[in-house]
C-alpha cells in the first residue's frame, strides 16, 4: 500500500480529491445560535412543499385519532415513515441543487 491519495474517477474535477468538498461541508463546525447564513434563501416552492407535508401528516394523525388501535398506530407509523422519507428526499434534492433548476440544453 502506498501513502498517496487514490486516483480520481474519470470525469472527476482535477486537483481536488473525490469527496473533499462534501467532507469539509459535513465536518464544519455548527453555526452559533441566531447566526444567519446570508447565502441561504428559501423559495416559495420549497415552502409550499413543506406545507403539503404538514397537511399530509395532519391527515395521517387525524386518521390515527379515529382509529386509535394497535393496527391504526402501526398504519400511522408506516404512513408517517413514507411521508418523512419523501420529505427528506425532496429537502436533500433542494439543498444539493441550492435552488437551481435544470434548464434544457440548446
Q: Mean pLDDT across the stretch 96-103? A: 58
Grid coordinates given for 6: 487514490
Which tens digit of pLDDT belongs to each residue from 37-91? Answer: 777 777 788 888 889 999 999 999 999 999 899 999 999 999 999 999 998 888 8
Query: CB of 85 within 8 A of CB of 56?
Result: no
* Residue 18: count of CB within 10 angstroms of its CB: 14
Q: Is the pLDDT of residue 105 over 60?
A: no
**Helix 70-97 and helix 44-66, axial crossing angle in degrees, nearest 10:** 170
Q: Compute the CA torsion angle 89, 93, 94, 95 (nearest 10 deg).
A: 100
Q: What predicted TM-score, i.e. pTM, was given to this entire model?
A: 0.54
Q: Which residues contact 58 (CB under 8 A, 6 or more apart)?
A: none
Greatest CA separation for the chain: 63
Q: What ranges in 1-106 are assigned the alpha helix state H? A: 20-26, 44-66, 70-97
Amino acid at each position: 500500500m502506498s501513502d498517496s491519495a487514490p486516483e480520481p474517477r474519470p470525469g472527476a474535477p482535477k486537483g481536488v480529491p473525490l469527496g473533499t468538498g462534501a467532507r469539509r461541508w459535513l465536518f464544519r463546525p455548527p453555526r452559533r445560535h441566531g447566526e444567519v447564513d446570508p447565502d441561504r434563501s428559501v423559495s416559495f416552492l420549497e415552502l409550499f412543499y413543506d406545507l403539503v407535508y404538514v397537511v399530509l401528516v395532519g391527515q395521517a394523525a387525524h386518521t390515527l385519532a379515529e382509529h386509535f388501535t394497535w393496527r391504526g398506530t402501526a398504519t400511522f407509523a408506516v404512513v408517517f415513515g413514507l411521508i418523512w422519507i419523501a420529505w427528506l428526499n425532496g429537502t436533500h434534492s433542494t439543498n444539493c441543487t441550492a435552488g437551481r433548476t435544470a434548464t434544457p440544453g440548446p
